[in-house]
Structure 1
Amino acid sequence: MDPAENLIAIACIIFNWPEGNHRICIDLGLLDGDGAHPQAAGRTLFPSGRFQDDILPSDDLQVDIFGRYITFQSSRRSTVYGGFNEENEEQWCLQIWDWRQSTTSSFVISDTIINPEDGESFDYCFLGNNRLLTVGKDLKLYSIENLSRAPQLLACFLMPVSVTSIESLIPMDDDIMPGSRLQMQAQRPMWTSDPKNRLLSLVARIQSATSKSFTFVISTRIFFDLQVSVFEGMEVIPWKCWGPLNARIFPHDLRCRVGVCGNRVLHTFPATGATADDEDPSDDTDYKLYMMDFSPSAVAHRQGLGRVVTEPSIIETTESAETLTSSLPYVVVVSDRTFDPDQLMDIWVDKDRIYLPKPNTEDPDSVGYLRLR
């Protein structure tokens, strides 16, 4: 449902038992009444033939509305047998409609993960009205200006080293709209923003002897600067060409929490007495909140608040001393107080508040907040 559009979308699987086949359709309606939506191209959306034929009733299916777009995705995990080898795989498909323009679409994206890790899956988000970013082992950027034809891959941004799984954190924003698997914010911000100057965050588990995890904070402007000379003629862009100047990498332990809002990232790090490199910190480890603002204006005009960080940071990713360097400038403010893990079971951040779960024996679902200044 999308109350702002007064729209409800319902995905249906219709079985034809004698023939043993099925078809899929998405019915559109009004939230506040009956009949067709006055802005919709039609009452029913129909997936493309090959997308519909690949769907099984047992698949994980999801329909979502993001402004002018409706998405329908399926995910299926299965075991593939080949000779003496047995492999698990996850197949993921996504189809997109501009529901105001057409009831059909040929825009279908699909991918497969071989032997997926726990929690590993594909994600996606809209960057404005004409670009889509998918998140997997690498980041793939597509043009969505014409949904009546096959997706146009603009570029593939390679992630550094071997990433085994990624958790995507993207703000709920009018211009950066996350897919259904992405972590949502506590409430929808009431302002608009430029999708060329926002942030996304990836929590990545990197293949190494210690299976370390890291937070990648990435400026979305890199997905709009494909005409720069260093990228000219490149569809596959190595990390060294795009990452160091447009990202920051931080250690991430199992109890760290991350929130993203606009140009700000809220990250929890162990306080004094523990290190951010601890993969499994003790239960009595306390944490501090780090609010990082990556907007160029904050870096240039911090007005005495926080500390400006412009020097490169170097992260060691493996026991063989392999390192990654990143240098996206930011301003950081560290909380005076510390928090125990029970106070940081989750966090959300919007324009001027930080939301934390508030343990309450009378109301276990209560949420407290800290005001940002």
Structure 2
Amino acid sequence: MEPQTGFLSLAEELLCYILSFLPYRDILRCTSICRTLRQTYLSFSELQYIVETSGQQLLVIPNTDDSIPISERLQRLRDEAHAWFKVDTHPFLKLVPITWAPLSRENIVAGGHFCSWDPIGDTAMILPVHPKPSQQSIRRNWLPGTLCSVPHLRNLDVFMDPAQNLIAVAYAADHRTVYINLGALDGDGVHPQAAGERLVLSDNSRSATGNAKLKGFGRHIALSRLSNDENQNSVWQLQIWDWKYSTTSSVSFGLKELKELMVDSEFRASSAVQYPTDPAQLNFVSSGTIDCWIFFDLDEMAAAMPIPWEHWGPSNTRIFQRPSRSTIHGNRVLQRLYVGTGSSQFILQLLDFSPLAVTNGRGLGRVVKEPSTTYAIVDRFGTRGESLTTSLPYVQVVFSDRKFDRVHSQLREMWIDKDRIYMLSKSLRYPRDRLEVIDVKPDLRSAVVSTVDD
């Protein structure tokens, strides 16, 4: 009988050591198809700790106190992640009165701050809601004419990122040029990390910009621009900058290029558009507002080869018919779920698309792996057209302890970040509203730091 010299015959300690060099997704794949590797994974907290930290996009802090066993640190990490599946939406950490302009175009909570911009009055504000002790606390109001240093120009959009002390103001100088000023939230000067005072978008268009939307993600800023040409045809354009590196954009998409890149009539990825190598992250939008984020990190071989939709799309996508508002942060989506007779009430539900949540979420929520089919509506009568089936797994958690009346609910908007839920509700003292802050995660020290901006 020949001795076993295969990989699986190695000692568990050696298997653990070898697996530790793999990305966490590959560790999960290996342990899901091999019983021996699965047993090794369950036997070693070190492997589970690698998967947990990477899956939560955390970095292990070096030179920390080693007196805490790794099994205990692992449990703390899991407790923090599982806290989202056990949220009590009744008690709140803090109740903040908010006074803001009723015609504000957008109100957001980011980095522990409430941000608002009123395009009619040309004013903006930022105030601290509940920033972490390590975060800078910023409180500021911009009066009419102070958002942009160039007088008598119409501001198109304003974006604030408290985590980076950044305020970006987009304005049109003429039919051909759009500028984006890059300033500091806590001062009047140019942002110290910006490549220049402003970003520039210039083309040969003779049409004025009708609608524009700014979004940021780390060192990238995206501008979605909608205008009408001389024939009154809608012209859509997306521009992306690495604002810390250059004031000009090397990434540009029009409506035609986006359609070709996303899908063709057979839902196949097209190779008509060249994938830029910098930045590696691309943001795609629809309907003139940036509400869809898709990230590609492709090596040269993968970028050069078109991948049929059916090979990667359905299993990595989940499409919902959006009946209500939702808010997104990272892998999590918080949305309304209508209940009661005639959908007269609604509650909140959380959808977690993290692979770790799907792997470890049993007993904490409903793990959904069944495919779902969505139909395109082709006319105003609701006629169904082509269908698309998607099957990205997720964990569904329903917060049924608090119900809202659909008609008389005072809830205006809601947001989530890594640790909290924020709910903005109407107040009897118009225009002052109430911002409810719900703390999700316990204050646990687990010797890790986040790699994702709040």
CA distance, structure 1, for counterparts of residue 242 and residue 376 of structure 2 = 42
Counterpart AA for 1:91? V
The correspondence of residues 334-349 of structure 1 with structure 2, limited to 5 A, is: 334-337=398-401, 338-341=403-406, 342-343=408-409, 344-349=411-416
Is 1:331 paired with 2:439?
Answer: no
- Tell me the equivalent position of 1:271: 339
- Tell me the equivalent position of 1:95: 239
- Tell me the equivalent position of 1:248: 318
Higher strand share: 1
| Structure 2: runs of 5 or more not aligned | 1-159, 378-382, 442-454
Shift of 1:69: 3.6
Shift of 1:286: 1.2
2:420 to 350, 353, 363: 353
Shift of 1:361: 0.2
Counterpart AA for 1:340? D
- Percentage identity across aligned positions? 35
CA distance, structure 1, for counterparts of residue 394 and residue 328 of structure 2 = 14
Shift of 1:66: 5.0
CA distance, structure 1, for counterparts of residue 176 and residue 371 of structure 2 = 55
Is 1:233 paired with 2:305?
Answer: yes
Structure 1 pair 142–339 and aligned structure 2 pair: CA distance change class (3 A):
farther
- Tell me the equivalent position of 1:181: 289
- Tell me the equivalent position of 1:311: 370
Shift of 1:76: 0.5
The answer (yes or no) to whether the contact 1:143–1:153 under 8 Å persists in 2 is no
The correspondence of residues 50-129 of structure 1 with structure 2, limited to 5 A, is: 51-54=202-205, 56-57=207-208, 59-61=210-212, 67-77=218-228, 80=231, 89-111=233-255
After superposition, what is the alpha-carbon deviation per residue over 1:42-86, rounded to whole angstroms, capped at 9, x for unaligned? 556554xxx432154454356666543455553213584xxxxxx
- Taking structure 1 as the reference length, the TM-score comes to 0.53
- Taking structure 2 as the reference length, the TM-score comes to 0.45
| Structure 1: runs of 5 or more not aligned | 16-20, 81-87, 114-121, 123-132, 157-164, 168-179, 184-199, 202-219, 275-283
After superposition, what is the alpha-carbon deviation per residue over 1:1-43, rounded to whole angstroms, capped at 9, x for unaligned? 656555665666657xxxxx97665565666667766655455
After superposition, what is the alpha-carbon deviation per residue over 1:191-237, rounded to whole angstroms, capped at 9, x for unaligned? xxxxxxxxx58xxxxxxxxxxxxxxxxxx57x4468999x98326x4
- Tell me the equivalent position of 2:44: none
Counterpart AA for 2:290? L
Structure 1 pair 36–74 and aligned structure 2 pair: CA distance change class (3 A):
same
The correspondence of residues 126-145 of structure 1 with structure 2, limited to 5 A, is: 143-145=275-277
Structure 1 pair 102–327 and aligned structure 2 pair: CA distance change class (3 A):
closer
Structure 1 pair 340–135 and aligned structure 2 pair: CA distance change class (3 A):
farther
CA RMSD of aligned residues (A): 4.9
Counterpart AA for 2:423? L
- Tell me the equivalent position of 1:291: 350
Structure 1 pair 227–323 and aligned structure 2 pair: CA distance change class (3 A):
farther
| 3-state SS of 1:265 partner | strand
CA distance, structure 2, for counterparts of residue 323 and residue 333 of structure 1 = 27
Structure 1 pair 336–323 and aligned structure 2 pair: CA distance change class (3 A):
same
Shift of 1:358: 2.0
**Length, aligned pairs only:** 267
After superposition, what is the alpha-carbon deviation per residue over 1:266-299, rounded to whole angstroms, capped at 9, x for unaligned? 222221434xxxxxxxxx7212222122212222
Structure 1 pair 304–246 and aligned structure 2 pair: CA distance change class (3 A):
same
Shift of 1:258: 1.3
| 3-state SS of 1:241 partner | helix
Structure with larger RCO (C-alpha < 8 A, sep 6+): 2
